[in-house]
Amino acid sequence: MLQERAEEMEEDLLPLQERHSRLSERSAALRAQHRTLRPELETLEAEDERRIEGLRSAGAAMRAERAGLAGSLGRTLKEYELIRRSKKGIGVALLQGGRCSACNVSLPVSVQQRATQDKFPPVKCPSCGRFLIRLTQPA
């Protein structure tokens, strides 16, 4: 009886030992792969850090430039922020084919002419109240 039970347990143990052996080999292979890839990972992480640092300094430069430009806009910037807040985040619209790109209203010729003169402060759409700008072709 006891002998039978011992044989059964040995039979149960065999698949587990095989599985343990396979998993140990797999583990060793993965450790070796990790050791091989570690230098590459360190290189990539260093490149990533440099890239992040570059983006941080570019962002800081852009924020400083924006602050400088915003200072020169004064009242128009405040007005723009108010328009933006009341118009779902979009305070400017393009003059496109005689229409406002935001509300699609056909603009009076006098408004179109003032918008194309690029004067400051910019002209506003008589319908939606956003500042109208036109895109100029790059030289």
Residue 28, both tokens: 């060793």
In a 3-state reduction of DSSP, which class is residue 130?
A: coil
**Rule CB under 5 A: is residue 127 a binding residue for Zn ion?**
yes
Q: Please, what is the minimum distance in Å from the beta carbon of residue 43 to Zn ion? A: 52
**Rule CB under 5 A: is residue 92 a binding residue for Zn ion?**
no
Residue 111, both tokens: 């408004």
What is the DSSP track for 76-116?
HHHHHHHHHHHTTT--EEEEETTEETTT-PBPPHHHHHHHH
Residue 115 and residue 133 in contact, taking contact as beta carbons nearer than 8 Å: yes
Residue 67 and residue 60 in contact, taking contact as beta carbons nearer than 8 Å: no
**Stretch in the footprint of Zn ion (CB under 5 A) among 18-26, 32-40, 57-65, 128-136:** 128-136
Kindly tell me which residue out of 83, 95, 115, 125 binds Zn ion, with binding defined by CB under 5 A: 125
**Rule CB under 5 A: is residue 133 a binding residue for Zn ion?**
no
Q: Could you check whether the bond before residue 121 is cis, i.e. omega within 30 degrees of 0?
A: yes
5/88 with CB nearer Zn ion: 88
**Rule CB under 5 A: is residue 103 a binding residue for Zn ion?**
yes
Kindly tell me which residue out of 102, 111, 115, 123 binds Zn ion, with binding defined by CB under 5 A: 102
**Rule CB under 5 A: is residue 94 a binding residue for Zn ion?**
no
83/100 with CB nearer Zn ion: 100
> Where does this chain bind Zn ion (CB under 5 A)?
100, 102-103, 125, 127-128
